[in-house]
Structure 1
Amino acid sequence: MGASPWTVGAIVLYFAAMIAIGMFAFRQTDDHDDYMLGGRRLNPFVAALSAGAADMSGWLLMGLPGALYASGLVESWIAIGLTVGAYLNWRFVAPRLRVYTQAVDAITVPTFFEARTKDRSRLLRIVSGLVILVFFTFYVSSGMVAGGVFFQSSFGTTYETGMLIVAGVTLIYTLFGGFLGATYTDVVQGCIMVVSLLLVPTFAIVAVGGFGPMVEGINAVNPTFSSLVRGATTIGVISSVAWGLGYFGQPHIIVRFMALRDAREAKAGRRFGIGWMILSVSGAIVTAMAGIAYFHQHPEHALTDPEAVFLDLAQLLFHPFFAGIVLSAVLAAIMSTMSSQMVVTSSALIEDLLWMVSHREYSPRVQLWFGRVGVLVVAIVAVLLASVRNATILDLVGFAWAGFGGAFGPIVLLSLWWRKLTNWGAIAGMVAGAVTVFWWGQFEPDVALFGEHLYEIVPGFAVCLILAVVVSLLTYKPDAEIQAGFDETVAELDSFKQGKRPARQVA
């Protein structure tokens, strides 16, 4: 399907808008703290849409509709698990993390872990930074692979050209705009995504003659489409729902909680975020349903790749210019995730690793430019990794998501909710969780144990949690400073619930 000049023009307009937003954020970024955390001044709507857009990536517009198109609603268990996980993350992690990270003056997840456990060895911060560096390099690479595939299939470019276009534009607005650039563009991209996921299925339903003919078309093609259990297994459902566990440990998502203006706004953020997520996931599901009916009615428009159902419907049902705007939703999903991950990976490289090695104090402006150099380095390494293209997009995303869920998820929860977590417990759990994910993903012992694939986040999360608790109990020594910080955080959260003025305010 050839690309119209109108469609190309719409994509170029989208790119220009993203760069312009990045330049706007550049003028609001004065120092390293602004570059990495936006000065903790996000309102709940911005934080929620930014977290949602940074989370979903191209899976929402291509992977999920394609899986549903091919196999039916049985493939929606991942979406169910993710929605539940996102809600629990906003409900139990967001407000407490916002208060605690300000109390200990932490602007990254590794610095929070170090300050929370009073780790004087600095080893916890280094291990955390390395985990972020390794898994996010794979994650950013998956976005570049998706960008290359998108341009190759939609515009007929080479894979390498498409990858470099997406990487280059994302790098420009992230390099200069930092956290605020990534966040502001995420909001725009989140709006494009949800509007597109509502418009495409709506127009497709109208095109097939309404809801009734759509259902008839689905039944003619796949009578068992609506079953949540046909073809499912217990291990398969557990693996799919377990994706929700990953939310607790995703640095590019929970850093949005840290950047809220105060913890009270987490409630509004949860409503915005989950509302956006329900609308978006519902749109993806109905896109698959309407696509089945449409291509059944129009066999002349053969769909060769189920993951292209959203793309093909957009180009068939809309004027080329508006089709380009809708297609930019896929780029929005890809680029919003990449930009957020670049900033967090840069923070790990500069804030959590370079400072540990150099042992020097730098001025705020020098730190700011170090952060930009970190983004550039991460982007270059990810481009090199993506150019090899020895794994699928879903494989890369699933591996990185499991890595953070298994290594960071239990440590985040224990840091916020359990007083006795120690630095050695956190280190042991984190290393064991990461190694388990690596080992399980490479050698797949799950096949021998269960007869089918068990997603590696399940054993990784369990091993990390158990080992962190056991080692913490063995190494725990009462620390008045840690207990005071924990008690102060709980007291401040209680004051929020009672409607009192918070004890700490952002200057």
Structure 2
Amino acid sequence: MTTSTWYVLAIIIYLFVMLAIGYWSYKQTSQYDDYVLGGRGLNPFVAALSAGASDMSGWLLMGLPGALFLTGFSELWMAIGLTVGAWFNWKLVAPRLRAYSEVANNSITVPSFFENRVHDHSRVLRIVAALVIIFFFTFYVSSGMVSGGRYFESTFQGDYLTGMLIVAAVTVAYTFIGGFLAVSYTDAVQGMLMFAALIIVPVMAIIALDNPADIFSFAAENPYATGGAIENPQYFSLFSGVSAAVIIGNLAWGLGYFGQPHIIVRFMALRSPADAATGRRVGIGWMALSILGAVFVALAGTVFFTNTDHSITDQENYETIFLDMAQIMFHPLVAGLVLTAVLAAIMSTMSSQLLVVSSSLIEDLFTIVKKDKPSDAVMMNLSRTAVVAVAVLAAVLAINPNDSILGLVSFAWAGFGAAFGPLVLFSLFWKRLNAPGAIAGMITGAVVTIVWGMTSLGDLIYEIVPGFAAAAIVTWVVSLATAAPRPETTAEFDAAQELIAKANRDKNFQFEGAAD
């Protein structure tokens, strides 16, 4: 068989596995809460891998190795910021959000938690939060579809539109039928595939080198690693060629974790707050080793592609070194399975975002205008319809891709981080938070991020820094300047903190019954 045929076979195997998981999840899903949040019974191992896979996307396998290969270790600041931010997210947010979201009227979406946390009877907070999610994630999903189309173009030299539609159709299919469980378990499988690929490819590349130790010295003398321009003696320096503002901006990516709906919803789905400790160890271990694998892909590439006759397909950003190394070293079937790791990264992010958007459309907007809540069966069907509707809109935007859509990935990360991040932290740690402060802070974070990112100010520092700071200050000031929360709101806060403490002391504590 030809190489392309082997690749196609590998992709078909992978896609059928994803659909099979979707069907299994469908059989486990009988209630609306199951479809949206998995019945709050998510295993911490699955939660950790699914959160990591839905977060990292193709940046981990293509963007980071390419940037490190081209520029050097100064590109690691973003990875450092993300790892630190993820650790604090699991440590500070996960156990408290798991407890509080159930205590606060069994909130199953991020906007509903915000509303129930401060007892906002105006519904303004919930509506604005849902609109922020729908706006950013529609374009975010579209960028994933664009990536899927580009993946098929570069891997199979196929048609962009055909590849985009195949990726979109399979992702929508398993999200449509299986809901939260399908998204979580497929993400976990995709996370394991990404992890395996990032370990296997650099290890095999290093073994193939005549002198593996060259990876620690060759890059500093390698003009090819700097785009054929000049030698880079500062390759291994974290500080070479980057300003303090760039370092701060890249580290600030870690702040975004506190406000990413598709990540923190995994915390709400854990079996109990105590599971957050296991999730943290698994998630951060997966993340650190995966980033280390990406680093060694770049290091091995600096020798692999300069001491052999092999070349890199992407001669501008060098983002194909992972794909090129896999294709060169492995049998086409094995290479095809390794290449599916990129597809897995794309699909895991898309599916998580699709489900969050559909939940916001139905749970956070439809139920507000519908006085009598429909049955579970009707709500699940409405959510499935919303998944398809959002996917169709995102596909329309992706038919003619442009840089503005792809650029919204970092823009949306900053938007969610600034709009939701401070509010999540205040909700979980500050009893004095009230509805006016929450609403004002969230709007401020979103507006500052948008304005900063769309003007020349974005060239000074990443927009999440001013957006997060402004939202935090406004939330604090407005909350103090307006009426204190009602006694029932503060009593609920105390009850949630007490349950968290009990769950942390006793791993066998029956949290669900105590939260009722």
Judge same fold: TM > 0.5, yes or no.
Answer: yes
Correspondence for 1:23: 23
List per-residue Cα deviations over 1:27-61 (Å, max 9, x = no partner).
11112111100000011101101111111111110
**Overall identity of the aligned pairs, in %:** 53
Tell me, yes or no, if the aligned pair for 1:103 and 1:485 is still in contact at 8 Å.
Answer: yes
- Whole-angstrom distance in 1 between the partners of 2:119 and 2:220: 60
- Whole-angstrom distance in 2 between the partners of 1:339 and 1:210: 42
Correspondence for 1:186: 187
Tell me, yes or no, if the aligned pair for 1:421 and 1:476 is still in contact at 8 Å.
Answer: no
- Whole-angstrom distance in 1 between the partners of 2:281 and 2:10: 32
For structure 2, the residue ranges without an aligned partner over 5 or more in a row are 223-231
Letter in 2 for 1:13: I
Correspondence for 2:372: 360
Residue 299 (structure 2) pairs with residue 263 (structure 1) = no
Q: 1:359: Cα distance to partner?
A: 2.6
List per-residue Cα deviations over 1:150-189 (Å, max 9, x = no partner).
1111111122222111111101111101100000101110
Q: 1:96: Cα distance to partner?
A: 0.3
- TM-score, normalised on structure 1? 0.96
- Whole-angstrom distance in 2 between the partners of 1:207 and 1:496: 50
Correspondence for 2:200: 199
Tell me, yes or no, if the aligned pair for 1:437 and 1:456 is still in contact at 8 Å.
Answer: yes
Q: 1:457 aligns with which of 464, 468, 473?
A: 464
Residue 306 (structure 2) pairs with residue 296 (structure 1) = yes
- 1:29-428 equivalence runs, <5 A: 29-104=29-104, 105-221=106-222, 222-305=232-315, 306-391=318-403, 395-428=407-440
- Whole-angstrom distance in 2 between the partners of 1:304 and 1:435: 36
Tell me, yes or no, if the aligned pair for 2:272 and 2:503 is still in contact at 8 Å.
Answer: no
Q: 1:492: Cα distance to partner?
A: 1.4
Letter in 2 for 1:230: S
- Whole-angstrom distance in 1 between the partners of 2:348 and 2:302: 29
Tell me, yes or no, if the aligned pair for 1:215 and 1:293 is still in contact at 8 Å.
Answer: no
Q: 1:234: Cα distance to partner?
A: 0.5
Q: 1:466 aligns with which of 462, 467, 473?
A: 473
Tell me, yes or no, if the aligned pair for 2:260 and 2:420 is still in contact at 8 Å.
Answer: yes
Letter in 2 for 1:481: E
List per-residue Cα deviations over 1:203-261 (Å, max 9, x = no partner).
11111224313234323314321110111100110110000000000010000000000
List per-residue Cα deviations over 1:400-451 (Å, max 9, x = no partner).
10110010000000000001111111111111111111111111324xxxxx
- Whole-angstrom distance in 1 between the partners of 2:349 and 2:384: 18
Helix, strand or coil for the counterpart of 1:420?
Answer: coil
Helix, strand or coil for the counterpart of 2:296?
Answer: helix
Q: 1:499: Cα distance to partner?
A: 2.5
Tell me, yes or no, if the aligned pair for 1:201 and 1:283 is still in contact at 8 Å.
Answer: yes
Q: How much is the aligned-residue C-alpha RMSD, in angstroms?
A: 1.5
List per-residue Cα deviations over 1:327-356 (Å, max 9, x = no partner).
000011110011011101100011001112
Q: How many residues align?
A: 501
User: Which moves more between the two structures, 208-217 or 404-413?
Assistant: 208-217
Helix, strand or coil for the counterpart of 1:323?
Answer: helix
Judging changes above 3 Å, is the alpha-carbon distance between structure 1 residues 466 and 308 closer, same or farther for their aligned structure 2 residues? Answer: same
- TM-score, normalised on structure 2? 0.95
User: Which moves more between the two structures, 414-423 or 292-301?
Assistant: 292-301
Correspondence for 1:449: none
Tell me, yes or no, if the aligned pair for 2:47 and 2:266 is still in contact at 8 Å.
Answer: yes
- Whole-angstrom distance in 2 between the partners of 1:303 and 1:109: 42
Q: 1:476 aligns with which of 473, 477, 483?
A: 483
User: Which moves more between the two structures, 390-399 or 432-441?
Assistant: 390-399
Q: 1:289: Cα distance to partner?
A: 0.8
Tell me, yes or no, if the aligned pair for 1:146 and 1:393 is still in contact at 8 Å.
Answer: no
Q: 1:392: Cα distance to partner?
A: 5.9
Letter in 1 for 2:472: L
